[in-house]
Structure 1
Amino acid sequence: METVFSMAYCVIAASRAKGTSSGFLSPRPVRKYVALNAAAGQRRDLANGKEGENTVYVCEAIDNFQADVIDGPLNKRGWVLQERALARRTVYFTERQTYFECGAGVRCETLTKMTNNQSSFLGDPNFPQIAMTSSKGGRIRLYESLYKTYSRLDFTRAYDRPIAIAGLELRLVTAFETRGGYGIFDRMPFFGRSLLWTCEEPTGMKRIDFPKEGLGRYRVPPSWSWMAYTGAIGFMDLPFEGVHWLEDEVRSPWGTAVWEIRLETSGSGSSVASSMWHTGRTDQDNNLTGKGRRLVEELNVAEEKIRWDAGKRPASVCDGKELRVVTVGRRKSKANKPATALEHHVLVVMEIGGRTDSGGRRRYERVGVGSLPGRWITLDEQEEEIAIF
């Protein structure tokens, strides 16, 4: 799909269609206008039903790319976000008018030109080249916005969630010159920030029931990926220069594996990503490893600063399953305060129980995130290494 859309000269989007049988070339609403005489004494030619040659027309404003396209029925579908970003040029047929989008912005049928950072990012003909001209903080905000938008879109089959954005994710991984997958990037600060996603669903997120067969070589996303769940996500709002990322506390599955991202040149001279990418690999582990630290503070107090992925404390914790935290980063201190006095940004994980991974580590799964005072967790002890699946 990445190759098809990125190599198309122009993509036609049926933005007004509510379904596959709706069509998109139906008559459009009549546009309201007022005719004003430009010269004194000029009279309307009632017999011919025409205005004079110097008549000025004031028309109803209909330029609304947000309402017609972004909030339209087509763009509520999960697969469409990737198609929009990969396309070099797109013509959108909406109920009121047509729009044309490319890296230079959006042109309306009324001859209006619109520009904004998000449209430029997604309309980039060489996605994500525009993002690469931004600062590191700007790049982070752009991919966060992309993932937040994507997480709110609809799927006929929920288990398509990891696949329908794979082409965009590969482009981002390649552009950032890193590795990654399942919505997470390797290397700090991208790794830490993308791990600290948050549940934005009032009733909590639910694990997707992935079929055991039929997905080919794609495997079920791990618990630390938001792609394993249904529902909207956000990200912890952390200052760009105010976090010390703890690379020794949590390690990605790509730290020791040898991954290859090959780029092949298409007939048009642009680079297109090959199909050899880790999301399609089933011969590699996809678990995080890190130090599982224990809570010193009572959970009833600590959970005031925890955001549960399920919207509430998992029932299994109440049934005695062990809860631990893995520190991803902590607040920087100019006053050289001790770690116990600093806020720690953590993954909250729960023991799966019964089995260990190939390295003999106990298995846990993510159940939330939080920012906890260092004195609430066991910082000074040599905690065991755990695996997060």
Structure 2
Amino acid sequence: MVTIEEAQTIISNQNIEFESELVPLNDSLGYSLAEDIIAPFNIPSFDNSAMDGYALCGISKEYEIVGEIAAGDTGNISLNNGHAVRIFTGAKVPENTTAVMMQEKTNVEGSKLILDQEPAEGQCIRRKGEELQEGQIVFEKNYTISPAGIGLIGSLGKEKVRVFSKPKINLITTGNELIEPGKPKQEGQIYESNSYAISSACEQFGFLCQTRIHIKDAFEAIKKGIKEKLEVSDVLILCGGISVGDYDFVKEALEENGVEELFYKVYQKPGKPLYFGKKGNKYVFALPGNPASSLSCFYIYVLPFLQKLSGMKEVGLDKFSLPISHDFENKSDRPSFLKAQVFNNQVEVLNGQSSSMLHSLAVGNALAYIDAETRFKKGDEISCYMIF
């Protein structure tokens, strides 16, 4: 058995063989860059107007209007002192432009432009290269692409980007008692939920489970399922069958398939029977079958590893220290990840902490980390991992 810290260190210390691919910009959200993005030209690439208004030459309160420039016009116009042109946001300013005055502060009488106030030199002009200079690093390798990042990369004229490939993930659930939602349920049976929760959690953070299969508690069937899914996976996730019951065959089946155990059992609650192993450059997480244990272990251990495999610089859930909103005692002899709700910068540890109970995890938005046999008074700070 290992501690939480030891388990996290073993996971984070794995030497990863990264793969990259060229993807369309439209499909790059959530991927991490496999190379630096360099500005091929200045942004803006020309001096342009920040407002609808008038481009002015010289400092005055009256000008003669000599033309108009719309956004996208490519001609070259040069202004003389005392002249102005009507101009629109994003349009290239003429040569010799002193300033742009927004239209709300102007009056027009025939061809005469009268200003409410004198302009300040350079006002309302977006200067060439003021955001990015040609040759500048826009994003460094490992940057995780955001919607704004996609927009900026698009403004550089790139239609494809080289990114780190995301891992191929497959999911196996086990258990004789489990049946698919929608089927008639008999006494002693339980509707299977782990595959829905884990695959959705993957999707929440930008990953995709390629397949989800369920296998009854039969050693040969589990062994065969693991063999088949390992061949097509970078990460294989199993739920259930990893404890020490008479029908828990997952650990033995992994050994029979040549998977090297990196750790088994973590000194924590919930999720003690957690397994992590590898075979070549393929990795296996075997999660407990209890729904809340399974999902909690995914958030704390599996998610950071999936992000690491994807070349992300920052991995894991956001973590904060916040005051607890009530007195609380952790009576467990193990460090615990407890279902919690963060609201108004305070933490409430919720009822329904059993590892089989999903409701409190579904209505909460955090996991509170609390040491074994620890008491908290209202206002004491505790660590929280934000799941939403």
TM bucket, shorter chain: under 0.3
Larger Rg: 2
Tell me the TM-score normalized by structure 2.
Answer: 0.22
Tell me the TM-score normalized by structure 1.
Answer: 0.22
